[in-house]
Every structure is written in C-alpha cells, then in structure tokens.
Amino acid sequence: MIPLYAPYQTLGSQPHWEPLRVLFVCGTNAAWSIMAEALLRRDGGRRFLPMSAGIDPAPAVDPMTLDQLASAGLRSDWCFTKSILTVREDSMLRLDFICSAMDLEEIGLAGDWPGHPAIVHWNVPDPMEYLGRTSGRRSHFRAAFTALAKRIDLLTSLPQGKVLELRRSLAV
C-alpha cells in the first residue's frame, strides 16, 4: 500500500508525487466551483486533480461562467454540473482537499468523506447568489473569478511538501 503523504514513486533522487485531489463545492455547481476547477486545471499542472460539485446542481453551467472562462482563455468543453452526493458516494475516490463556498459543517456535510480530506471554507461569494441586473451579475462573476484566481495562485505556488503539511494539519 502506498502511504498517503509519500511520493508514489522515486526515479533516481527525484520524488514523483501523486496528484492531490481537490473538490470545489458551491450551491449549484454553475459558477463558483466551475471557475475554481478551471483555474486549478490551468495552473495546477500535474500536482492537482481538480473537480467540482454542487449541493443542489443547476441543470447547466451558467452562461456567464462560460463567458468568464472564455475571456480568461480557459477551455470549457469539460464543464457540466454534478451533485456533491455523486462524489461523496464514490468510495474509490480519495479526496485531499475540499474547498467550499459555504460552511459544510453548518449544512451537515463536513464529515465522512473518502480520504478524510482537509475542508476549507473560501470566503469568496458565489456570483449565482446575485439576482440583480445583467451588468451587476457580470461584475460579481469577474470579482469571484479574480478572488478565486488569487487563492488558486497561492495554493499552486506552495512547494509540494508545504501543501501536504497543510493537508495533514486541516484533515478531518
């Protein structure tokens, strides 16, 4: 069995790390979590395996999310909404981090995850919660995207050992 926090193989003196599985969770999986997943897909390289889900998934990804991804030069052909229950019920999926737009403990979803991941609440508002005019919605999508990009940049700039330390210290 491979230890959870060890390199999965060593070639010469260079360790090769198993990618860390990161789940982004928001209410509908139509904006916040999709944007975070797209950013980590782009910036995380082979170090991270990002995915996203929603508490109550929308029928489709919001068109403004797709516009925001396109304006940042990010692909969106992989985007579709999915339920957090689908991810949680997959006993073969070991998660390392869950980054959420809401407090999962408050809604009863903090415990009993495969892999006992570190759960963090990123205090970045979900633009789907803004119900105003189109121009206002666009600015909320841009603001969320910018804030998520900064957090993803911080995560991906950490050396792998520091990311693993963080995971160990926050694991449930």
> In the chain, what are the domains?
18-170 (3.40.50.2300)
Residue 136 has phi, psi (to 5 degrees) of: -65, -40
Over residues 48-85, the pLDDT tens digits come to: 999 999 999 999 999 999 999 999 999 999 999 999 98
User: CB–CB of 125/140 below 8 Å?
Assistant: yes
Over residues 159-170, the pLDDT tens digits come to: 888 888 887 887
What does pTM read for this prediction?
Answer: 0.85
Greatest CA separation for the chain: 58
**CA–CA separation, 112 and 165 (whole Å):** 21
- How distant, in Å, are the alpha carbons of 10, 40, 94 from that of 16? 6, 19, 18
Q: At what angle do helices 32-43 and 63-71 cross, to 10 degrees?
A: 30
